[in-house]
Amino acid sequence: MNILAIETSCDETAAAVLDENKLLSDVVYSQLAIHQSYGGVVPELASRAHLQTIIPTIDEALHKAKIRRQQLDGIAVTYGPGLVGALLVGVNVAKALAFANRIPLLGVNHLEGHIFANRLDHPQLEPPMITLLISGGHTMLILVENWGKYRILGQTIDDAAGEAFDKVAKMLTLAYPGGPVIDEYAVKGDVNFVRFPRALNKKDNFNFSFSGLKTAVLNYIESKPEQFVRQHIYDICAGFQMAVADVLIDKTSSLAKKYQLEQVTLAGGVARNEFIRHQFSVRAGEEGYSIYFPSPNFCTDNAAMIGKAGLFHLQNGECSSFDLDAIPNLNLKAID
Ligand code: KG4
Ligand code: ZN
């Protein structure tokens, strides 16, 4: 079964081709150069850039996979959550291709795509497991009882983890997106130089809050002379990153213990963070659970993960109708 997957939920135009056993191609066109000078994603510019690049991106993915359009057996496309104008580009192209080729169309939830990203690198991985999804828009602790069966056990009550990285980077006048820059800067800093607060750090509270941490960093920066901040920028990044890592790891580890689960997977852009990956590996060893991360390119947005989730549902005989619409605030379908 050859699947074409399309992802256009935010600022990456992505297409991938895969079959049951193998990822045949994976193309990601990042719009970073378009948005960077604005310090964030500009929705209108994102939609326009998707329009211009979607067809060449799909053609490149098919070419690299050595698959012709006529050889496709299904199309998977992200239909939410994300920016509505951006999602609409992918959804409509997917519909047109599915209709023209008379093959099934499947709308994929972007969050489920992130959960499936680990399956690209770890094909043997099977639930039950806990997935910590940490991206630019979401921070969630998900009990994956089975593929397609999710229970949300905790989530952020304000900012997402990636959003906190981006906002703190902005306060420090660092480039957008902030995550990769803080990751790089923090390595050179002292994690003990400044201690920022860890929110909701109580037993059995599996929700997250990052807005207090963001304010604490802002207050700290404003209370110091500019030169001091410049001089200690690596230390401030290290202190902030440590505070984020601590809450993510403490809550995930205690949840794994509570549910006696031996597998934890990370997903989403923040899962690229070297320090968080390392600290998680150390703690997993101490607490006796196995930790899995997607390779860095499958943490941030890509179409391969959408294809992996799509393949699972298509193989289950599911498909979407041609009135599939973009749903910007789509939730992860959870069981109670
Ligand atoms: O999953 P993703 O590509 O898009 C969403 O679905 O939101 O995640 C993007 C987020 C951004 O907030 C970015 O700053 C963060 O992931 N990010 C990182 C790193 N690389 C990307 N955060 C921390 N460390 C990184 N190395
Ligand atoms: Zn994402």
Please tell me the chain's helix, strand, coil percentages from 3-state DSSP, rounded to the nearest 5.
Answer: 50, 20, 35
**45 lies in some domain:** yes
Q: Are residues 63 and 189 in the same domain?
A: no
**91 lies in some domain:** yes
Q: Are residues 189 and 84 in the same domain?
A: no
Q: Are residues 11 and 82 in the same domain?
A: yes
Task: Give the structural domain span for 87.
Answer: 3-114+300-315
**284 lies in some domain:** yes
Q: Are residues 144 and 254 in the same domain?
A: yes
Q: Are residues 291 and 305 in the same domain?
A: no
Q: Are residues 293 and 310 in the same domain?
A: no
Q: Are residues 247 and 292 in the same domain?
A: yes
Q: Contact, 210 vs 244, CB < 8 A?
A: yes
**157 lies in some domain:** yes
For ligand 1, say whether the CB of 268 is within 6 Å of any of its atoms. Answer: yes
Tens of pLDDT, residue by residue over 95-145, are 999 999 999 999 999 999 999 999 999 999 999 999 999 999 999 999 999
Residue 216 pLDDT > 90, yes or no?
A: yes
Query: Using 50, 70 and 90 to split pLDDT, how confident is the model at 54?
Result: very high
Q: Are residues 146 and 287 in the same domain?
A: yes
**333 lies in some domain:** no
For ligand 1, say whether the CB of 135 is within 6 Å of any of its atoms. Answer: yes
The model carries a pTM of: 0.96
Q: Are residues 135 and 241 in the same domain?
A: yes
For ligand 1, say whether the CB of 136 is within 6 Å of any of its atoms. Answer: yes
Q: Are residues 282 and 311 in the same domain?
A: no
CATH number for the domain spanning 140: value is: 3.30.420.40
Tens of pLDDT, residue by residue over 267-306, are 999 999 999 999 999 999 999 999 999 999 999 999 999 9
For ligand 1, say whether the CB of 178 is within 6 Å of any of its atoms. Answer: yes
Phi-psi region of 323 (alpha: psi -120 to 50; beta: other; left: phi over 0): alpha
CA distances for 210 relative to 180, 200, 240, 247, angstroms:
18, 10, 11, 10
**119 lies in some domain:** no
Q: Are residues 221 and 308 in the same domain?
A: no
Chain-wide mean pLDDT for the chain?
97
- Is the C-alpha dihedral spanning 101, 105, 110, 111 positive or negative? negative
Q: From the alpha carbon of 114, which atom of ligand 1 is closest?
A: 1
Number of domains composing the chain: 2
